[in-house]
Amino acid sequence: GLQVCISAAFFMLLGVFLGPVLYLFLQGAVGRATVLLLLAMAILFPSSVVFIFLHRYGPIFIVLYRQRIAAALQLSFSLLRQKLRESLILAAFLIGLSILFILGLTFLLTLLGLPIGLLALLLLKLELFTAFYVFLLGAVAVGMVLTIALSAGFAVYQNIAWVLAVRELVKTQKFAEKAKEALAAEPVV
């Protein structure tokens, strides 16, 4: 529900800005449309960052602190507002790690693919076409399984990093008491 709300709000905001820009372009007012497009992008870029963080922090508040959707959105926005710099630093760090992961995975697949490619060429030279296709299909399947397994492991690492970051950021916030109350056991009557 939270992700539907955030996505719907984002697409409504996108529609509010995209509609007039498209209308002006269709009417031939290219200059006005370009200026409006630049203004829309200046508003949509920071808004997109907020929506991305709400999308990231909201489920953590729902699961970890047992909050409802509205409270999770409010707590997520408050956390982002108070800890924007830390959130951006963590996001940049994880994006950098993602780029390194993709480069490392590409290097690994290339390194493993070279001997496989040479063996496949040898099978072609020997005119063992059935063996070539079976070998190539098996190599592609192993490569896909390796890619999926490593990508899943990296995704788990990223999600754990976000959860731990939110827990640490909540500890230093003004609303930490409210989040702690959500975790506290209710007295038995």
Asked whether the beta carbons of 69 and 62 are under 8 A apart, the reply is: yes
Residue 130: pLDDT band by 50, 70, 90 thresholds? confident
Instruction: Report the phi/psi class of residue 29: left, alpha or beta, with left for phi > 0 and alpha for psi in -120 to 50.
Output: beta
- Give 149-159 pLDDT, tens digit per residue: 999 999 999 99
Distance of CA 57 to the CA centre of its chain: 11
**Rounded to an integer, what distance in angstroms lies between the CA atom of residue 113 and that of residue 145?**
14
Amino acid letter for position 107:
F
pLDDT score of 172: 78
3-state DSSP call for residue 180? helix
How far is 45 from 58, CA to CA, in rounded Å?
A: 20
Structure tokens at 70: 């509205």
Structure confidence at residue 188 as a pLDDT band (50, 70, 90) = low
Q: What pLDDT is stored for residue 180 in this prediction?
A: 55
